[in-house]
Amino acid sequence: MTDNALVRALDITAGKSTTSVFEALSFEISPGSFTALVGPNGAGKTSLFDTLLGLVALRAGTLTVMGGRPCHARRRIAYVPQVSRLLHDDALVGREFVSAAYQSHRWGMPLPSGRRQQLQAVDAALETVDARDLARRRLSTLSGGQRQRLLIAQALVNEPRLILLDEPLSQLDPAARDRIVSVANALTRRGIAVIFSTHDINPVLPVCDQVLYLAGGRGRAGSVDEIICDRTLSELYGTPMRVIIEGGRRFVFEGSQRRLQAVGQC
Amino acid sequence: MLMPGFLRYDFMQNAFIATTLIALMGSLVGYFVVLRRQAFGSHALSNIGFAGAAGASLIGAEPMLGLLVFVLGAALLMAWTGRHVGERDISVGMILMFSLGLGALFVNLYSANANAAIGILFGSVFGIDASQIRWITITSLVVLAGLVALFRPLRFASLNPDAARARGIPVSLIDTLFLLLLGAASAIAVPVIGALLSFAIFIGPASAAQAWSGRVGMGLALTALLALGEAMGGLILSYYANLPASSCIAGLSFGIYALSRLTRVASRRCVAG
């Protein structure tokens, strides 16, 4: 166990009163680390984010976030939703969208005296995600990947120590995907820890420090080799699973060797 | 004293004070309504007031009181039903439909005063007395102060509700408070500009401003200026052309909105070409 972990989860169980989304999950998040949160749809990736933010109560286990209870650390965590969850963003230009997050938990209007600091924070955030060119463009004219970068910039203006990225690669083409992964990786070099949820591990394989895999109401954390292997995935899914490594990429199949040959074509 | 001829009359002075305040308050609330895509809710709230006023007349109470009770009640109901925009559209429509049915019933039962009902539907700018001016002033100040107080969390929660909730911003509370502000603004505006025409002040200037500026500060300033221009222009036009004031304001609001759409389309063509 490291002493300075941002998040320490020990045997945590979350879910509604009768059904649990995941059970007895243990993991740690260190500053500046890149964690891939992987699992099929409905495996509880978003529920895990809600748990880290203290929006959902734990049913069992202990969870420490930045040395305290999750809800006390919210201001130091930024949650980045999927682009498709944004409904009314298209009226504004990039810079205004990003700066809307600045000190947004405070009541009232921003004072003119804080204007310089706000400009600097927004500029720095746009710079970090390489989106200076989007500052004056309306969101309605931007692609999914460009909007995703602005969403990450919005999360950065309040200087978080941990960023939760919810399926940032969904609905993006491969080039846009690579760009988002490299932006997320750049955050870790600034000491920000990243939890990156995705249903496909391959785009983040080159940059991820650990994998948190959720499936079948269970979850396991560890290195890529420890988690994306036949034994661990078979345990998680509760059914025989096969992992094929091909050209540095990992492909997960359901079933035994013999059935694999039938589905291996795809 | 140098004063335009039309300001010699008390009723004209009252009309100018009332429309100035309502244009400022209504259009600035309207900016957030447009940003949040709640225009349908805003339209519904104004029209629900009609049923409240008609019902209050029927039982011999102050119409303004009935209007306020109905509009604020409907605002709370809207906040409570459906969080997602799609769901909300349907529940807003159902609440609107039911209250218009009630309004028709009340007018039918109280047929002695159908003119009052028409007054609420289309407004009577030139029939405003001093006590109404007092209420309009108080409500405008309260609504504007409420908007200033909510500004930062409201702006963020309107653009990115999931991230706002994660940050610990009470998004549902902000939604409800905003709808109450919108309800209060609608209730006070309805007797002046009319339930059916409140779109002219609440939505028209804000959507034109958002077509012309993608910045919040500039957008708010433009919204207030356009709303003031349309309201004042409508009153003056109505005085000299002897046309209903509400029609003039509605006409100007529509004209400016159409212009903003046309210039947006033209500028997109420029970029594309």
The 3-class SS string of chain A reads CCCCCCEEEEEEEEECCCCEEEEEEEEEECCCCEEEEECCCCCCHHHHHHHHCCCCCEEEEEEEECCECHHHHHHHEEEECCHHHCCCCCCCEHHHHHHCCCCCCCCCCCCHHHHHHHHHHHHHHHHHCCCHHHCCCEHHHCCHHHHHHHHHHHHHCCCCCEEEECCCCCCCCHHHHHHHHHHHHHHHHCCCEEEEEECCCHHHCCCCCEEEEEECCEEEEECHHHHCCHHHHHHHHCCCEEEEEECCEEEEEECCHHHHHHHCCC
Among A47-51, A55-59, B46-50, the range of highest mean pLDDT = A47-51
Give the type of residue at A77: I
Whether A264 shows a pLDDT value over 60: the answer reads: no
Strand order in the sheet with A58-65: A20-29, A7-15, A58-65
Question: Two tokens at B214?
Answer: 């993608």
**Helices B85-109 & B39-58 angle (0-180, nearest 10):** 20
Where helices occur in chain B by DSSP H, the ranges are 10-35, 39-58, 63-80, 85-109, 114-122, 130-159, 161-166, 171-193, 199-202, 204-212, 216-241, 245-272
Cα separation, B210 vs B219, in Å, equals 6
In this complex, the residue of B36, B152, B164 whose CB is nearest that of residue A88 is: B36
Cα separation, B131 vs A223, in Å, equals 73
Q: What is the mean pLDDT of chain B?
A: 88
Cα separation, A18 vs A6, in Å, equals 30
User: Which of B83, B155, B215 is the mutation pick for testing A, counting most A CBs within 10 A?
Assistant: B155
Instruction: Quick: pLDDT tens for B214-230.
Output: 999 999 999 999 999 99
**B-chain residues within 8 Å CB-CB of A79?**
162-163, 166-167
List the single residue in A with minimal CA-CA distance to B210. Answer: A91
Cα separation, B55 vs A232, in Å, equals 68
To which residue do tokens 């880290």 refer?
A52
Give the pLDDT mean for B82-100. Answer: 78
Query: Is residue A76 within 8 Å of A242, Cβ to Cβ?
Result: no
Question: Two tokens at A140?
Answer: 């309605």
Q: Please report the pLDDT score of residue B111 as a whole number.
A: 67
**A-chain residues within 8 Å CB-CB of B85?**
87
Query: Is residue B210 within 8 Å of B219, Cβ to Cβ?
Result: yes
Instruction: Quick: pLDDT tens for B170-180.
Output: 999 999 999 99
Q: Please report the pLDDT score of residue A263 as a whole number.
A: 41
Is there a contact between B149 and A155 if contact means CB atoms under 8 Å apart? Answer: no
Query: b vs e for B58-92, b when ≥16 Cβ sit within 10 Å of the residue's Cβ?
Result: beeeebbebbbbbbbebbeebbeeeeeeeebbebb
Give the pLDDT mean for B258-263. Answer: 94
Choose the weakest-confidence range: A165-169, B6-10, B156-160. Answer: B6-10
Give the pLDDT mean for A152-168. Answer: 96
Residues of A with CB under 8 A from a CB of B: 49, 53, 55, 71, 74-75, 77-81, 85-89, 91-93, 95-97, 100-101, 103-110, 138, 151, 154-155, 158, 164
Is there a contact between B160 and A89 if contact means CB atoms under 8 Å apart? Answer: yes
Instruction: Quick: pLDDT tens for A76-114.
Output: 999 999 887 776 557 899 999 999 999 999 999 999 999
The candidate with the shortest Cα–Cα distance to A214, out of A13, A59, A54, is: A13
Whether A1 shows a pLDDT value over 60: the answer reads: no
CATH no. of B2-196: 1.10.3470.10
pLDDT class for A260, splitting at 50, 70, 90?
A: very low
Alpha-carbon distance values, A68 to A5, A25, A88 (Å): 12, 18, 35
List the single residue in B with minimal CA-CA distance to A49. Answer: B166
Q: What is the ipTM of this complex?
A: 0.91
Whether A265 shows a pLDDT value over 50: the answer reads: no
Instruction: Quick: pLDDT tens for A10-28.
Output: 999 987 766 678 888 999 9
Burial of A175 (0-12, 13-18, 19+ CB in 10 A): exposed
Is there a contact between B166 and A105 if contact means CB atoms under 8 Å apart? Answer: no
Whether A244 shows a pLDDT value over 70: the answer reads: yes
Cα separation, B154 vs B218, in Å, equals 17
User: Which of A46, A47, A72, A88 is the mutation pick for testing B, counting most B CBs within 10 A?
Assistant: A88
Q: What is the mean pLDDT of chain A?
A: 89
Q: What is the 3-state secondary structure (H, E, C) of B4-49?
A: CHHHHCHHHHHHHHHHHHHHHHHHHHHHHHHHCCCHHHHHHHHHHH
Q: Please report the pLDDT score of residue B124 as a whole number.
A: 81
Query: Is residue B45 within 8 Å of B88, Cβ to Cβ?
Result: no
Cα separation, A244 vs B116, in Å, equals 78
Give the pLDDT mean for A70-79. Answer: 93
Q: Does B210 touch chain A (CB under 8 A)?
A: yes
Give the type of residue at B235: L
CB neighbours (10 Å) of residue B267? 12
Is there a contact between B148 and A92 if contact means CB atoms under 8 Å apart? Answer: no
Is there a contact between A88 and B159 if contact means CB atoms under 8 Å apart? Answer: yes
**A-chain residues within 8 Å CB-CB of B264?**
none
Instruction: Quick: pLDDT tens for A180-237.
Output: 999 999 999 999 999 999 989 999 999 999 999 999 888 999 999 999 999 999 989 8
